[in-house]
Amino acid sequence: MILNVATIICAEQWRYWMRTKVAATVLLLGAILTIAALVVNAFHINEAAHARDHLQTEAEQRFKAQPDKHPHRMVHYGHYVFRAPTPLSVIEPGVDTYTGNAIFLEGHRQNSAMFAEQRQSAGLTRFSSLTPSFLALVLAPLFIILIGYGSVTREREAGTLTLLLSQGTSRWELLLGKLLALITASSLFLLPLLLACFYVLFSNESALVVMLFCLSYVVYFLLWATVVTACSAIFEKSSVSFTVLIVIWMSACVLLPRLGSSVATNIAPSMGKLEADFKVEEKLRSLGDGHDVNDPAFKKLKEDLLAKYNVDSVDDLPVNFRGIVAQYSEGRQAKVLNEFAETRMSEELEQAQIARQFGWLSPTVAVRSISTILAGTSLETHHRFLREAETLRLDFVQALNKVHAEKLDYKLDMNRNASEEAADKAVVGADNWSMLAEFDFKPEAGSTRISNAFIYFVQLLLWMGLTALLLQAAVRRLNP
Amino acid sequence: MIRFSDIKREAGFVFGHRQIKLTLLVVFLLSSVSLWSGYAEMQEQQATIERLLKKDETERNAVLTHQSNYGMVAYYAFHLTYAPPSPLAFAAVGERDVFPWKHRIRMLALEGQIYESDTDNPELAFLGRFDFAFVTSVLLPLFIILLLYDLKAKEREARRFDLLNVTARNSHAIWSSRVLVTLVPLVLATLIPLIAFSVVNGASVASILTVCAIVIGSIIIWSAIVLAIGAAKRFAHFSATHLASIMLGVWLVTTVIVPVTGHTIINASVDTPEGGDIVLTQREAVNSAWDKPVEDTWQAFIETHPQWADKTDFDPQRDSSFNWKWYYAFQQVGDQTAKGLSESYQAATLRKDEIASYVALLSPSLLTQRLLTSAADTDVQAMVNYENNVREFHASLRKFYYHHLFEAPDFSTASFKQLPQFSPQVSKKQENTHED
């Protein structure tokens, strides 16, 4: 029964919207924008995926196609890894355009990711971007406000509210009808996004992740539709309802996310990479230079090795001492590098988490966190990329050092600078380069991403509770 | 003709209105908070530069005392380069969070070093900075709409509209003075914190005036848009909130749709080499040099450095098959191979920026943002200038070391007194701030 009346009210509201040009324009504009964003973004991501896949294969082929060389030269030749975009980044590209997607891996160094796309955007997309997530999280609420701020106040101002209520329509029925109308209208913006999610389901993305991703957007739209309907019922005049809603939108969607970012920068300033590099160097200097076997830092290593093989000089060792030193010092150095890299990443994560606490103040921040984490375009997934790249780096560098120790004669090696012929002899075969592992980046498992996003679901739940209370208050206060 | 008495009466009216007072207070707070946040961040960047400079010096001196030939020093000695924040950078952080503003450079191939980015937390950059440029270019128009959309409608609803028009000596004067007493406090609420911070931060009077002019200009443009929509005959029958929806539509189209459409079109129309290609090309060139005949490297090197043509010989007594001259020559040849790509990459960045400056003519918000970052030296141009400063510095390093490697004087630590020092270029932007 209650639904019947609500449906009639909803249909009535739709008839009104279709009559007035403003609502129809907003609806049309919103739907076109969402579809355009999806198409443009899907093409872009698809292209990027192909380009990076191609570059990755090419980098691997080039590495393996290198001629016979001194293994340490391959350590410096290095390798490139590229991060492939995740399926859901079609909707939420997240930090991807800000991080850079390629890393050069080489011996003795951890490089940062290069070529952030944002640098090529001439500042045009710093506030807004044609991404489905921006449209859904920032613009859609504005559209919902524009079509819904007067849904109840209009009836009140025209005097029809008294009529409706005196004819036996209950307050709940009335508000539910209005809310239903606004939800169906806003679904015009949401539907393309949900369809895109449905499409993503056919990729290798976890179904549960995609469903929760959709759900958080659906809830977000419901929140706004409810807040707008409630405000329209609470305030006497359309102009007041309008002003209040615009102020809410400004703070929740525009102001607070950025305020969070600035607060995080200032509360927990993180040490830049350069500054960390100095600390790394300070620490490394005490560890010895892996290029120089005579460095006093390797004395102990040498003595142990001589004792182990029971020989008197490094010349008599069955392994190449230079390779052993390279292996040993690379391993020790990587430990220091990773220690600092981990510190830096945890500092960054701490900053991001401070900014995400603003989800308690704005549902937009909460859904943004959920959306980037689930889509695998959050800081966490970027860090995972950095860690995997580092693992690959250490693996191939150490594999090369092992080849250096086991397959290259020490005397030939020491003699390599004597002449060009000697240099030509101090090499190992190209077949050794095939040890390079393939790099195929995948975001964290679905369950990990969901548990990372847990606290932000709690934020969203809080907002659902608050909004329900607001709706209840609106029903109670609904007077003609 | 607006009389003083009109202004006084309207001021009394405006300040008697709680909503307007509240809005002004909020604008004042937002402006102050954004400035404080930018100020704190720039102080931190300045402090970082000072700390880095100190460490850089120590680290280099350590290298100088440990090494005993020029080739090794050139290999191990890094040089800090940086772009210090301008005195106004706190007002518009601009591109400083996506472009690098500090690099450590050494004698190796530059193309392998210059794209390293020690930028800020990407998630924070993604959320965006809450700086003064954002407040004035994105939020202020919304506040102007909120303040002015129901200028007349409010009076109509209060049934004072006709009364006001009849009792006033000049009906235009009422509305003009009412707009004026609303906007002047708005300008003051926005600019007073800015002026205070700028003075504390030692910005020049001319640059402060420039920024004030940009902000006032932006407020005037938006007020004109809002008032024009409010006064348009076409919309005469619209309610105040309908008018406000149209105003928000204009905000939406100019602030969001124009930039993103511009971005999409620019990206599709300007050919940019893949960044990855630059570094791959450079690396291939550098690494293949080891396997190629030495003459190949020398030939390519001498083409651009004819002055060293007679000095490419190795001294087998001293140099064996490995020689630093040759090593740095092939580093340079690596850069030369990637030069075309690298130049077109930078040219594409600048070309996109240039087209964006035309797109900005269609969007007051974008124009404000671009003018502010330009005045604060945090725009794309400034960041590219820094990159070019680094290139120049690298060239001067090469010049210094080439001399010592090719002329081969005996190693002496005293010679490092001549080692080039990076000094950041202070921009001459103040003279030509208005790019458009």
- Residue spans of the domains in chain B: they are 4-17+136-268, 34-132+270-431
Bridge partners, B103 (sequence order): B81
Greatest Cα-to-Cα distance within chain B, rounded to the nearest angstrom: 105
Residue % of chain B over a pLDDT of 90: 24
Mutation choice for B interface testing from A55, A120, A357, A421 by most B CBs within 10 A: A120
Q: Which positions in chain A touch B365 (Cβ < 8 Å)?
A: 127
* pLDDT score for A144: 92
| Residue A274 touches partner B, C-beta closer than 8 Å | yes
* Selection from A160-169, A291-300, B151-160, B197-206 with the highest mean pLDDT: B197-206
Average pLDDT, chain B: 84
DSSP string computed for A120-138: GSTTTTSS--S-HHHIIII
Contacts of A335 (CB under 8 A, 6+ apart): none
Average pLDDT, chain A: 85
| Residue A55 touches partner B, C-beta closer than 8 Å | yes
* pLDDT score for B170: 67
Residue % of chain A over a pLDDT of 90: 24
Query: Could you tell me the two tokens for B84?
Result: 């210090």
Hey, what amino acid is at A360?
Answer: W
* pLDDT score for A390: 92
Look at A281 and B59 and tell me if their CB atoms are within 8 Å.
yes
The shortest C-alpha distance from A434 to chain B (Å) reads 18
Helix (H) or strand (E) holding A357: none
Mean pLDDT of A47-66: 87
Q: Which positions in chain A touch B276 (Cβ < 8 Å)?
A: 55, 80, 82, 102, 114-115
Which stretch of A282-291, A436-445, B166-175, B316-325 has the lowest confidence by average pLDDT?
B316-325
Instruction: Give the nearest chain A residue to B146 (CA atoms).
Output: A243
Q: For B6-30, what is each residue's pLDDT tens digit? A: 677 777 766 767 778 888 888 998 8
Which stretch of A471-475, B268-272, B315-319 has the lowest confidence by average pLDDT?
B315-319
Which stretch of A276-290, B77-91, B380-394 has the lowest confidence by average pLDDT?
A276-290
* pLDDT score for B428: 52
Letter string b/e over residues B44-60, b meaning 16 or more CB atoms within 10 A of that residue's CB: ebeebbeebeebbeebb
Look at A272 and B118 and tell me if their CB atoms are within 8 Å.
yes
Looking at the predicted structure, is the pLDDT value of residue B211 above 90? yes
Greatest Cα-to-Cα distance within chain A, rounded to the nearest angstrom: 107
Bridge partners, B81 (sequence order): B103
Residue that has been written with the tokens 């993103």 in this structure = B260
What are the distances in angstroms from CA B146 to CA A49, B22, B247?
Answer: 44, 12, 10
Looking at the predicted structure, is the pLDDT value of residue A34 above 70? yes
Q: For B59-102, what is each residue's pLDDT tens digit? A: 888 888 887 888 888 888 889 999 999 999 999 988 887 788 88
Instruction: Give the nearest chain B residue to A36 (CA atoms).
Output: B261
Look at A274 and B104 and tell me if their CB atoms are within 8 Å.
yes
The answer to whether residues B41 and A265 touch, using CB atoms and an 8 Å cutoff, is: yes
Give me the residue from A102, A262, A269 closest to B44, CB to CB: A269
What are the distances in angstroms from CA A374 to CA A23, A86, A100, A446, B254?
Answer: 33, 10, 20, 8, 32
Mean pLDDT of A101-129: 77
Q: Which positions in chain B touch A73 (Cβ < 8 Å)?
A: 287, 290
User: If pLDDT is split at 50, 70 and 90, which confidence band does B1 have?
Assistant: low
| Residue A285 touches partner B, C-beta closer than 8 Å | yes
Rama region for B72: left / alpha / beta (φ>0; ψ in -120 to 50; rest): alpha
Give me the residue from B19, B62, B129 closest to A262, CB to CB: B129
The shortest C-alpha distance from B356 to chain A (Å) reads 7
Looking at the predicted structure, is the pLDDT value of residue B435 above 50? no
* pLDDT score for B436: 35
Interface of B with A in 311-330 (CB under 8 A): 320-322
Q: Which positions in chain A touch B19 (Cβ < 8 Å)?
A: 243
The answer to whether residues A330 and A109 touch, using CB atoms and an 8 Å cutoff, is: no
* pLDDT score for A168: 77
Three-state SS for chain B is: CCCHHHHHHHHHHHHCCHHHHHHHHHHHHHHHHHHHHHHHHHHHHHHHHHHHHHHHHHHHHHHHHHCCCHHHHHHHCCEEEECCCCCCCCCCCHHHHCCCCEEEECCCCHHHCCCCCCCCCHHHHHHCCCCHHHHHHHHHHHHHHHHHCCHHHHHHHCCCHHHHHHHCCCHHHHHHHHHHHHHHHHHHHHHHHHHHHHHHCCCCHHHHHHHHHHHHHHHHHHHHHHHHHHHCHHHCCCCHHHHHHHHHHHHHHHHHHHHHHHHHHHHHHCCCCCHHHHHHHHHHHHHHCCCCCHHHHHHHHHHHCHHHHHHCCCCHHHHCCCCHHHHHHHHHHHHHHHHHHHHHHHHHHHHHHHHHHHHHHHCHHHHHHHHHHHHCCCCHHHHHHHHHHHHHHHHHHHHHHHHHHHCCCCCCHHHHHHCCCCCCCCCCHHHCCCCC
Looking at the predicted structure, is the pLDDT value of residue B148 above 90? no
* pLDDT score for A446: 87
What are the distances in angstroms from CA A419 to CA A46, A373, A426, B314, B322?
Answer: 51, 56, 11, 11, 8
Nearest to B346 by CA among B399, B386, B374, B304: B386
Helix (H) or strand (E) holding A81: strand A79-82
* Selection from A118-127, B61-70, B155-164 with the highest mean pLDDT: B61-70
| Residue A191 touches partner B, C-beta closer than 8 Å | no
| Rounded Cα gap, residues B55 and A120, in angstroms | 32
Q: For A305-347, what is each residue's pLDDT tens digit? A: 788 888 887 777 788 888 888 888 888 888 988 988 898 899 9
Mutation choice for A interface testing from B114, B126, B383 by most A CBs within 10 A: B126
Mean pLDDT of B192-213: 92
Query: Could you tell me the two tokens for A421?
Result: 């012929």
The shortest C-alpha distance from A135 to chain B (Å) reads 10
Q: Which positions in chain A touch B130 (Cβ < 8 Å)?
A: 255, 258-259, 261-262
Query: Could you tell me the two tokens for A62?
Result: 């080039």
Look at A124 and B266 and tell me if their CB atoms are within 8 Å.
yes
Contacts of B106 (CB under 8 A, 6+ apart): B74, B75, B76, B77, B78, B79, B113, B397
The answer to whether residues A181 and A13 touch, using CB atoms and an 8 Å cutoff, is: yes
* Selection from A100-104, A368-372, B88-92, B168-172 with the highest mean pLDDT: A368-372
Interface of A with B in 414-453 (CB under 8 A): 416-420, 422-423
Q: Which positions in chain B touch A29 (Cβ < 8 Å)?
A: 249
Interface of A with B in 117-176 (CB under 8 A): 118-130, 139, 142, 146, 149-150
Give me the residue from A128, A278, A351 closest to B59, CB to CB: A278
Residue A205 or residue A367, greater confidence: A367
* pLDDT score for B421: 87
Which DSSP letter does residue A250 get? I
pTM as predicted: 0.86
Looking at the predicted structure, is the pLDDT value of residue B153 above 80? no
Mean pLDDT of A97-109: 84
Q: For B397-424, what is each residue's pLDDT tens digit? A: 999 988 888 887 788 877 888 888 888 8
Look at A262 and B131 and tell me if their CB atoms are within 8 Å.
yes
Looking at the predicted structure, is the pLDDT value of residue B385 above 70? yes
Parallel, antiparallel, or unpaired: how do β-strands B79-82 and B102-105 relate? antiparallel
Give me the residue from A114, A246, A254 closest to B138, CB to CB: A254
* pLDDT score for B434: 38
The answer to whether residues B366 and B258 touch, using CB atoms and an 8 Å cutoff, is: yes
Look at B266 and A59 and tell me if their CB atoms are within 8 Å.
no
Give me the residue from B123, B259, B348 closest to A125, CB to CB: B259
* pLDDT score for B432: 39
Rama region for B320: left / alpha / beta (φ>0; ψ in -120 to 50; rest): left
Q: Which positions in chain B touch A378 (Cβ < 8 Å)?
A: 123
Residue that has been written with the tokens 């859901």 in this structure = A88
Give backbone dihedrals phi and psi of A94, rounded to 5 degrees, phi first. 50, -135
| Residue B435 touches partner A, C-beta closer than 8 Å | no
